[in-house]
Chain A
């Protein structure tokens, strides 16, 4: 199955989260588009490969020569040796692994190649105008694979920690008027920074992000970014602010109420609502069944 859309609709970070949680395998193609800042820009294509929700490779070409060109560029192996060896690499074995088994590349070199691919992917998180296509029906290009992999979520969180330009994520960031609420999940090892954990302390849904910023003496943007990372990590969700205490219920519905007080209004309505009987529901089900 393939999913396609614009990066405006779903950010790369959110896509990586989807890939991680749904343990997707396949190829994510990112195509940059000319934008208002660079109307004449060319379209570039990037290909990021995943296996079972893990990031395994990123290249900007489809000829299968991305990894070997990085190797020869560094002068680690000659073109001739690379060609001879690659042709002998067994099917479904990452080329990096094969080179290591052959003793022509060391682990450290593979790590370096892998981080180059990671950096390539991380740079795409700043792309402001682009389209993506996630195709889960394509085999891995084993030639491009070092054999190393990383949780997609960690790739995304890592990329977001280093991100300089957040313009591409403007729509994805939680609104400063919203709060964050813990999802009550056990904290896995997440690549979060100190500020993220400070913001995490406010995950009770009672303090708006803009007020967290004030309390932590940070810019609102920085707090929004931290909250976004926490959302992405699955630790919190963005929610409308609720009152810290339950005893401040406001009854009047005629007032123009603050969003945060509307909840109490809605709560009280459940009581006023006429109840329906069990036999009523049973009748309805029978009727619907005859229509279905």
Chain B
């Protein structure tokens, strides 16, 4: 079995579980639990272990998707997940500017930890108060349009949108010298 492993990461409520549910052929193991402390104000449930989804697109060829728990401290969980990942998507909720600063820190952290292909997915672009792509790029500390990672709007609730984003990520993978 040939498998491509992709990690879906991002802050609480960014849409990680939704994205994986939307594309997965198997029921996503539900590890969502009643949210505690501050998260509870934001949403009733949150992912406590990681999500897992699978998409078999040819005999013996499959895509595995791992979603990180949004509440967890990034360093440790993320380091475990990323060990076997080929690429990752960093989801940013476009209408929660309060997450941009930590997003910037996480990005710089990850950028140093794992030099693997990645994509920034902007979710909730359809929600009122959503920032536009270039403003978010700056808030994430990505000043240079020419060298910043690929950024695409994603609506995790829509299968076609998720497929398009994954195609974009595969493009990034094809560019990467470590593969093939």
- A contacts, CB < 8 Å to B: 1, 3-6, 8-10, 14, 17-18, 21-22, 171-172, 183, 231, 234, 237-240, 242, 259, 262-263, 265-267, 269-270, 272-278, 280-281, 283-285, 287-289, 291-292
Chain B residues with CB under 8 Å of A285's CB are 167, 170
From known contacts A262-B75, A288-B167, infer whether A3 and B179 are also in contact, taking CB-CB under 8 Å. no
Complex CA distance for A291 and B166, rounded to whole angstroms: 11
Complex CA distance for A171 and B105, rounded to whole angstroms: 12
- A9-B101, A273-B83, A276-B173 are known; give 20 further A-B pairs, CB within 8 A: A3-B135, A9-B98, A9-B100, A10-B101, A21-B138, A239-B109, A240-B108, A242-B112, A262-B113, A270-B115, A276-B86, A281-B4, A281-B173, A283-B61, A284-B63, A284-B166, A284-B170, A285-B167, A288-B163, A292-B167
From known contacts A10-B97, A240-B109, A292-B167, infer whether A21 and B139 are also in contact, taking CB-CB under 8 Å. no
- B contacts, CB < 8 Å to A: 2-4, 57-58, 61, 63, 75, 79, 82-86, 97-98, 100-101, 105, 108-109, 112-116, 129, 131-132, 134-135, 138-139, 141, 143, 159-160, 163-164, 166-167, 170, 173-174, 178-180
Chain B residues with CB under 8 Å of A238's CB are 105, 108
| Beta-carbon contact of A6 and B98 below 8 Å | yes
Q: How far is the CB of B151 from chain A (nearest CB, A)?
A: 15
From known contacts A270-B115, A275-B179, infer whether A22 and B98 are also in contact, taking CB-CB under 8 Å. no
A-B contact count (CB 8 A): 126
From known contacts A1-B132, A21-B143, infer whether A10 and B100 are also in contact, taking CB-CB under 8 Å. yes
| Beta-carbon contact of A263 and B112 below 8 Å | yes
| Beta-carbon contact of B180 and A275 below 8 Å | yes
| Beta-carbon contact of A17 and B138 below 8 Å | yes
| Beta-carbon contact of A280 and B115 below 8 Å | no
Chain A residues with CB under 8 Å of B82's CB are 266, 269
